[in-house]
Chains A and B, each alone.
Chain A
């Protein structure tokens, strides 16, 4: 008797679980959410590692993809720094504090896209914060253009896009860095981020005259 009642509860639970599961899969975007935010992202906290990057500038985008329009629009005014993150990302929280400090901007994890323009040495630098879990596709897909090495969709990822000389042409030139920039303290990380920004500014100053994207 006792067992039969357990089985009845089991059957009811089975029907409840399967119907709720079916409903969740067909009527919500949870499948895509899990796929795009967990399965297809290199989970740095799960592997307890962070990418070792050299922060070198390059002209070659991933699989020769085009630079996104929102980058090109801002690049005509000055270099662009993009910071990619996801909702759950410990290192992103660490690095966000530094970026907020450098760019005098305030945002939270709930903001999908935040754009702030700041002047450094008479040159405007556009800072774009992108939370892949909340931003529109055109913003979050831009990460795939700038990912370097094998670190597919890793976060936090920082990309400084500027312009550089490439065999007779002035073209978009970018550097991508990951994680906490291989530094241990707040000040060291801030210095490294400043170095990345300054490199972008220097290259922009050197090459802006030949860049076709510059208006007037």
Chain B
């Protein structure tokens, strides 16, 4: 079975398991990916919300802070950021919109240049800034939380609730800010492939450092690489793959593994690493 199909099956499996609330299954766990518990059929809690509630207004509840970090840490140590490509429902959404972004990139030079601008690598630090400020600092200091304006909350919580309960809710002040962010989120994922994962996803920011020590990784045989760049061309995260070593941005989607003409890029299990 092709890797592409395996990944699609995995993504749909996790999409369904994230929504088992539809069958009455609700748990006290946190998702190891980005999904909102405000979704009417959600199964578990958003890891970011648990952290925010844990630090809210200096009332440190260590259990709530540690719990999502340990869940993400366990998954991260095993698979690195693979959840972004294999499990996250927002990743699945971006898989669809990524096709449009890729077409725009191919047909319009402007979109092609977007990914090559000099400061693009620095934009990737935005997600770390978001997690430190909006998920940790502002909830501690002023009570303002990332989930107040989260575009994924709008997509999976606000929109379904408004559709299911027409006329029963009215917008709050943050609604309008969140809608603007939501529109920008959609523009981003339609114009930059995996734009949310690359620059803004706070859950990705927690998982990214684990790529450095994860037991599963994508490995490149640099000595035998012919530098055809076919791998970098297909990489949805815009990584310079021939020079990659445990890159925090790699989501282990395996596109580079499939496309390498010399089969020099492989999935490596940590215990069998060279």
Contact = CB atoms under 8 A, between A and B. Distances in A.
Interface of A: 3-4, 6-7, 9-11, 13-14, 17-18, 20-21, 24, 28-40, 42-52, 87-88, 90-91, 93, 109, 149-151, 179, 182
Contacts of B168: 51-52, 149-151
A36 B45 CA distance: 10
Nearest to A36: B28
Contact of A24 (B63, B158, B246): B63
18 contacts: A6-B212, A13-B77, A17-B74, A21-B70, A30-B28, A30-B67, A33-B61, A38-B45, A38-B46, A39-B26, A48-B154, A49-B172, A50-B172, A52-B168, A52-B170, A88-B52, A88-B57, A90-B143
Contacts of A51: 168-170
A50 B77 CA distance: 39
A48 B53 contact: no
Contacts of A49: 158, 161-162, 169-172, 175
A132 to B, nearest CB: 13
A40 B38 CA distance: 9
Interface stretch (B194-202, B221-229, B231-239, B266-274): B266-274
B215 A43 contact: no
B71 A21 contact: yes
A35 B77 CA distance: 25
Nearest to B74: A17
Contacts of B212: 6
Contacts of B37: 38-39, 43, 46
Contacts of B29: 31, 34
B153 interface: yes
A38 to B, nearest CB: 4
Given A10-B214, A24-B67, A33-B63, A39 B150 contact: no
A39 B31 CA distance: 11
